[in-house]
Every structure is written in C-alpha cells, then in structure tokens.
Amino acid sequence: MNRYSIMVAAVLGFSTQAALVTESVGYQVDGQEFQGYLAFDDRLASPLPGVLVVHEWWGLNDYIRRRAEMLAELGYVALALDMYGDGREANHPSEAGEFARASLASLPQAERRFNVAREQLARHPRVAGSPMAAVGYCYGGGVVLHMARSGAPLAAVASFHGSLTPKANPLPAGSNIRIAVFNGAADPLVPAEQVATFRQEMDAAGADYVLVNYPGALHAFTNPDADRVAAEFKMPVGYDEAADQDSWRQLQTFLKDSFE
C-alpha cells in the first residue's frame, strides 16, 4: 500500500492491517486494453458478494483503489474498474473533463465498458454467482445511476456526489434495484433543482431508494484530496469529514441489507 493510500486510511479511520489480496485485472473492450484493480480478504470463505467501484473523473487512481480495499475489508470482493482505458489518470481538470466526455460520448460503448468489468467480477471464483452492487464517486456516481436506469443485473447501486440527471431514459417503473445517493447540499454541480427532479423520478418509478443530502457539503466531499484540488485549481470542491464518515457508515448498512 502506498503512502497516499495509508493517508486516506488514517483520515477515514480504517486499519491497513487486513489480510487483503490486491491485483491488477486486465481486460479488453472493443479492442482497447483496460486495467482494473481487484481487492478481497483471503481469510474469508467464498463465495462473497461483489462490488464494482467506478472512479471520479480523475480516473482509477490511488483514492479509488483505497475505496476498493475498504470494501474488501468489509468482506466484499471489490473491483475498481477502468472507464477510460489503458489505466489513464488525469492530473488537470481539463484533461479529466476530456477523458470523461470522451468516455460518455457513446452511451452504448460506456455501458459495454462497465458490463465487461461486471462480467469479469461475476466470473471471479470468489464471487461465482453471488449478488453484486456498484458504487461510484462523482463521475462514477453518474455512471452507476445510468447502469441502474439501464437495467444492469445488479442488486444495488450507490452514488457519492454524482450527477443525478439521467443520461438517457429515467428509471423504469417496477425496477427492483436498490439505489442510494449521498449528496452535498452545497454542491453547485448538483443544485437543489436536480435533487428535486431526481426524487420525482424515483417516486414515479416506485423505486427503493434513499437520498441523503448533507448540509454544507461540497462536491467530492468524500475525498481527502479535495481541499488541495480546490486550492490548486480554484474548483468548488472540498472534503467534509463528517459527511464522509456518515455516508460510509450508511453505505455499509445499505450494502448489507441489499445482499440479504
């Protein structure tokens, strides 16, 4: 585990001593190479539920790898997937925006990128037929909500500070996927109107959902690196320790209930 991962673990109050196995997982989509990151606790008996983790617009970086490890510490097999290809990571908002826009320019292609990773996780011998969920952060939050609306075979999805606006069709009535949204009430990228419209969509579909709106929390409130990003790039983001810890506690209950 690198120094950044240890720092994140310390801020979030989690032990780095779990008997974790981590490995890079390579796969191809439409002829392009992708690099995911798999984590599980090899002390636990299989099969275990699988959880896909979708990165922020920065790409599959140390922060998302650590989130996959934290899910593995909870007893899941976690696969942080690569939505950009070739394991690309952005170092500047302009580059991140370019990567994100290109990845979503074709929604069918974006869905294939997600689903190939999902199939990789479903075939893993430690998952092997167990139910699966998906968790996404920022850009990834929008992705997992889109996959829920598209009918992906998942038990549940959870979005952290992600866009709530449908990228295509809204959630269909009768969908049995469970949905959790953890949002910053002070996030200018997800204004109150968007939150209200999302609630209307979920209610119209009769969805099994929870939406938690944290007062004063900004975009990227779960990422300890957000304050540095705000200062360096003059972006409206910021870490909120209380919202981060509460949303993580609620996620644990949400996943446990979804897999029962």
Q: What confidence tens digit (pLDDT) does each residue in 78-132 have?
A: 999 999 999 999 999 999 999 999 999 999 999 999 999 999 999 999 999 899 9
Q: Tell me, what's the pLDDT at 15?
A: 44
Nearby residues of 166 by Cβ (< 8 Å), 6 or more positions away: 145, 146, 149, 201
pLDDT digits (tens, 9 = 90+) for 205-232: 999 999 999 999 999 999 999 999 999 9
pLDDT-based confidence at 5, cuts 50/70/90? very low
Structure tokens at 171: 């959630």
What is the DSSP secondary structure assignment for residue 161, as one 8-state letter?
Answer: S
Q: How far apart are the first and last CA of the chain?
A: 31
Q: Which two tokens stand for residue 6?
A: 């240890």
Give me the helix-helix angle, 139-149 and 107-123, nearest 10°: 90
Alpha-carbon span 245 to 242, nearest angstrom = 5
- Residue boundaries of the structural domains of the chain: 3-259
| pLDDT, position 18 | 57
DSSP 8-state code for residue 174 = T
Q: What is the mean pLDDT of the chain?
A: 94
Render pLDDT for 129-168 as a digit per residue (tens, 0 to 9): 899 999 999 999 999 999 999 999 999 999 999 999 999 9
In 30-97 the beta strands, taken as DSSP E runs, fall at: 32-41, 50-54, 77-81
Question: Distance (Å, rounded) from C-alpha 159 to C-alpha 198?
Answer: 13
pLDDT at 129: 87
Question: Residues 39-63: what's their mean pLDDT?
Answer: 97
| 166-209 pLDDT per residue, tens | 999 999 999 999 999 999 999 999 999 999 999 999 999 999 99
Q: Which CATH class is domain 3-259?
A: alpha beta
- The runs of H, that is alpha helices, within the chain are 3-12, 62-73, 93-104, 107-123, 139-149, 192-205, 226-233, 241-259
Q: What is the mean pLDDT of residues 36-63?
A: 97
Cis amide leading into 47 (omega within 30): yes
